[in-house]
C-alpha cells in the first residue's frame, strides 16, 4: 500500500501514476490482471502469441488495467518481453506501416531511413523486419498495448487491416493487448479480417462494496484521512448514488471528489454536479446522430418510462415505419436496448447515465431524479424509528394521566392497548414545544397506524396517518421524508400488501404530487406484487429504478419469484 500523500488522480491519465499506486487502486480486477499477465508471460516462453481485447464503456478502467500490465511487464518480465504502449489517442495511424513505425518510435528506434523509402509496402515490410530482428536478437517477444482499437480500424482501409492481420498471423514476434468501449464490426462481422481473432474480456462495473473500497483507497493515496475516519457518514449517500452512477471507476472517483469538496448534505446537488461534468461527452453523443435518429433517440431519453415504437411515433410525430427502421439502427449501433414482451416491445437508452443526464437538463426530469435520489438516500440510511421508540420506552413510567404523553402512548402500544393509545393521541391539543417530543409523537402515531392497518382497521390506520402528518408539518421536510421511509421500511417488512398500499396511498393523498414521485419505487413494487406482473419492470420504470423496486418486492414477498434477472 502506498503511503498517504497528495497524489493527484487524473481521471483520464492513469499513466501519470506509479505502478504501486496503480496496483493499490485496482479494485475488483486483481484476478483478471494476474491471469492476463500470466498468459502474456507464457506466450513469451512458448512462442505462441496472445491477442486480447478488453471491452467496456468509457471510464470502466481499461486504460488503468492496460497501463498497469505494461508497467509490470516492463519491471518484472523485461528479460523475456519488450512491452510497447501506444498513446491512448493515435490520430496518424492510417496504414499498417504507420502502426509498426509507431511501435519502433516507442521503442526508441530511429525511423528516418525507413520513412524515406518511397513505396508504402516497402516501408511496412522494412519496419516489420526491424522489429522481428530486434525480437530475435534479444530472444524476446514484443507485446503491444493498443487503446481504442475501434478508432484505429475506423481510420484504416480494409486492405490495410487485412495486411495487419496477415503480419500478426505470419510471425510469432508480436502479442497484442487492445481495448475498445464495445464490440465493434471490425471484430464481430464475419467478413472482417479480425473476425474471431481476439480473445475478448468484458470489464464489468464494480459492486457496491468494491465502490466503497475504491473510495477509501483513493482517499488513502490522496492523504484524505478525514474521509476514511468519517466514512460511515458518507455511506448512505454513496449507496444511494451507486444506484444511479453504477460501478464505473471514473465516476466513482468523481463522486469521491465531489463529496470530499462539498459534503453530503444534498445528494441531488452532488449528482447534478457529476452529470454537469459529463455534458461535453453526452453532447458529442448527440452530435453523432442526425435528423430523425436524433429526434427518436431524444424522444426515448426524455420519457419517464420505456416507450413502444407506436408511442415514440406519436410523440415525435413521425411515420411508424420510419420509427421502427430507425430504432433497429439505433439498437444495432448501441444507443438503445429493446425489451420484447409478446406482441409489445419497449425501448430505452442502453447507457443509463445518458438518460439521467438528459432528464437533468429539463426541469420535470430533474424533479423526478431528485425525488428518486432523496428516496434512495433515506432508504439506505440507518433506520431511526426503532431508536426513537426505544428512547421513549426507557423514559420513567407512571404517567398515564398525561405528565408524559409519549411514554403513555408507547406503553399502551407495547401492551396491546391500542384503543387507549388512540385515545391519548386524539386528545393531544396544541403544538409541541419540544421538537424531539414532536418527532417521537409522529413516530408513535405511525407505529400505531401500521398496527391498525395490518389488522384491517383501515379507518383507524388512516386517521392516525392523518394526525401524524398534520403534526409533522412543523418538522423540516427532509426529516419528514426520513420518518416516512423508516415507517414504510418497517411496514414493508411485515409483508401485508393491503397495509402497505393503504399507507402509501394515504401519504401521497396528504402530501401531494411531490410525494407521488418520492414514493414511486414503493408504489411500483406494490403494484407488481398485487398484479403478479413482472412486465411492469420494463413498462413502468427506467433502468435505474428497477433494482431498488426489485429489492422492495423481494422484501415484501420474502422470495425472488417476482424478481427477474435485471
Sheet order of strands, 199-202 included: 81-85, 141-146, 174-180, 51-55, 199-202
DSSP codes joined into one string, 37-51: HHHHHHHHHHT---E
Please report which confidence band the pLDDT of residue 335 belongs to, taking 50, 70 and 90 as the band edges: confident
Phi, psi dihedrals of residue 135, rounded to the nearest 5° = -65, -40
Prediction pTM value: 0.77
Q: CB under 8 Å to 82, separation ≥6 — which residues?
A: 107, 134, 135, 138, 140, 141, 142, 143
Span 283-293, pLDDT tens digits:
888 887 888 99
Residue 300 has pLDDT above 90, yes or no: yes
Span 355-372, pLDDT tens digits:
888 888 888 888 888 888
Lowest-confidence pick of 21-30, 429-438, 536-545: 429-438
Span 132-188, pLDDT tens digits:
999 999 999 999 999 999 999 999 999 999 999 999 999 999 999 999 988 888 888
How would you label 61-80 residue by residue, b for 16+ Cβ within 10 Å and e otherwise?
bbbbbbbbbbbbbbeebeeb
Span 460-478, pLDDT tens digits:
999 999 999 999 988 899 8
pLDDT for the residue 396: 46
Amino acid at each position: 500500500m502506498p503511503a498517504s500523500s497528495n497524489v493527484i488522480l487524473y481521471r483520464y491519465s492513469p499513466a501519470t501514476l506509479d505502478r504501486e499506486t496503480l496496483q493499490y487502486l485496482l479494485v475488483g480486477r486483481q484476478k483478471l490482471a494476474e491471469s492476463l499477465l500470466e498468459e502474456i508471460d507464457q506466450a513469451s516462453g512458448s512462442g505462441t502469441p496472445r491477442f486480447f481485447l478488453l471491452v467496456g464503456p468509457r471510464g470502466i478502467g481499461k486504460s488503468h488495467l492496460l497501463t498497469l500490465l505494461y508497467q509490470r511487464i516492463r519491471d518484472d518480465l523485461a528479460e523475456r518481453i519488450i512491452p510497447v504502449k501506444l498513446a491512448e489517442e493515435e490520430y496518424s495511424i492510417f496504414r499498417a506501416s504507420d502502426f509498426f513505425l509507431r511501435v519502433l518510435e516507442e521503442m526508441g528506434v530511429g525511423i528516418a531511413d525507413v520513412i524515406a523509402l518511397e513505396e508504402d509496402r516497402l516501408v511496412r515490410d522494412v519496419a516489420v523486419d526491424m522489429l522481428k530482428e530486434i525480437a530475435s536478437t534479444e530472444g524476446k517477444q514484443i507485446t503491444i498495448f493498443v487503446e481504442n482499437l475501434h478508432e484505429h480500424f475506423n481510420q484504416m482501409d480494409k486492405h490495410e487491416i487485412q495486411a495487419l492481420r496477415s503480419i500478426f498471423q505470419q510471425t510469432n514476434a508480436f502479442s497484442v493487448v487492445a481495448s475498445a468501449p464495445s464490440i465493434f464490426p471490425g471484430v464481430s462481422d464475419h467478413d472482417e479480417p479480425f473476425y474471431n481473432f481476439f480473445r475478448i474480456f468484458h470489464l464489468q462495473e464494480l459492486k457496491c462494496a468494491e465502490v466503497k473500497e475504491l473510495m477509501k483507497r483513493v482517499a488513502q493515496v490522496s492523504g484524505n484521512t478525514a474521509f476514511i475516519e468519517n466514512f460511515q457518514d458518507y455511506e448512505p449517500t454513496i449507496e444511494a448514488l451507486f444506484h444511479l452512477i453504477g460501478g464505473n471507476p471514473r465516476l466513482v472517483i468523481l463522486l469521491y471528489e465531489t463529496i470530499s469538496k462539498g459534503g453530503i448534505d444534498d445528494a441531488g446537488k452532488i449528482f447534478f454536479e457529476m452529470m454537469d461534468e459529463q455534458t461535453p461527452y453526452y453532447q458529442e453523443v448527440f452530435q453523432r446522430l442526425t435528423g430523425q435518429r436524433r429526434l427518436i433517440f431524444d424522444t426515448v431519453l426524455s420519457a419517464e418510462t420505456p416507450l413502444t415504437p407506436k408511442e415514440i411515433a406519436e410523440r415525435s410525430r413521425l411515420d411508424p415505419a420510419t420509427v421502427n427502421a430507425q430504432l433497429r439502427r439505433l439498437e444495432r449501433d448501441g444507443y438503445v436496448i429493446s425489451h420484447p414482451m409478446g406482441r409489445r416491445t419497449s425501448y430505452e437508452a442502453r447507457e443509463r447515465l445518458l438518460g439521467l443526464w438528459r432528464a437533468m437538463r429539463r426541469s420535470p426530469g430533474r424533479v423526478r431524479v431528485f425525488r428518486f435520489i432523496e428516496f434512495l438516500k433515506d432508504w439506505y440510511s440507518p433506520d431511526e424509528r426503532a431508536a426513537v421508540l426505544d428512547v421513549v420506552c426507557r423514559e420513567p413510567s407512571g404517567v398515564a394521566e398525561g405528565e408524559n404523553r409519549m411514554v403513555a402512548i408507547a406503553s399502551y402500544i407495547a401492551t396491546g392497548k391500542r384503543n387507549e393509545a388512540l385515545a391519548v393521541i386524539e386528545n393531544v391539543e396544541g403544538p409541541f414545544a419540544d421538537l424531539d417530543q414532536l418527532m417521537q409523537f409522529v413516530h408513535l402515531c405511525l407505529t400505531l397506524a401500521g398496527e391498525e392497518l395490518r389488522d384491517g382497521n383501515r379507518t383507524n390506520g388512516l386517521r392516525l396517518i392523518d394526525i401524524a402528518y398534520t403534526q409533522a408539518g412543523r418538522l423540516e421536510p427532509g426529516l419528514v421524508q426520513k420518518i416516512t421511509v423508516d415507517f414504510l421500511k418497517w411496514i414493508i417488512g411485515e409483508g401485508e400488501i393491503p397495509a402497505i398500499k393503504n399507507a402509501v396511498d394515504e401519504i401521497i393523498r396528504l402530501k401531494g404530487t411531490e410525494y407521488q414521485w418520492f414514493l414511486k419505487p414503493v408504489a411500483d413494487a406494490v403494484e407488481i406484487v398485487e398484479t403478479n406482473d413482472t412486465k411492469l419492470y420494463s413498462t413502468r420504470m427506467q433502468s435505474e429504478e428497477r433494482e431498488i423496486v426489485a429489492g422492495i418486492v423481494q422484501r415484501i414477498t420474502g422470495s425472488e419469484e417476482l424478481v427477474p434477472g435485471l
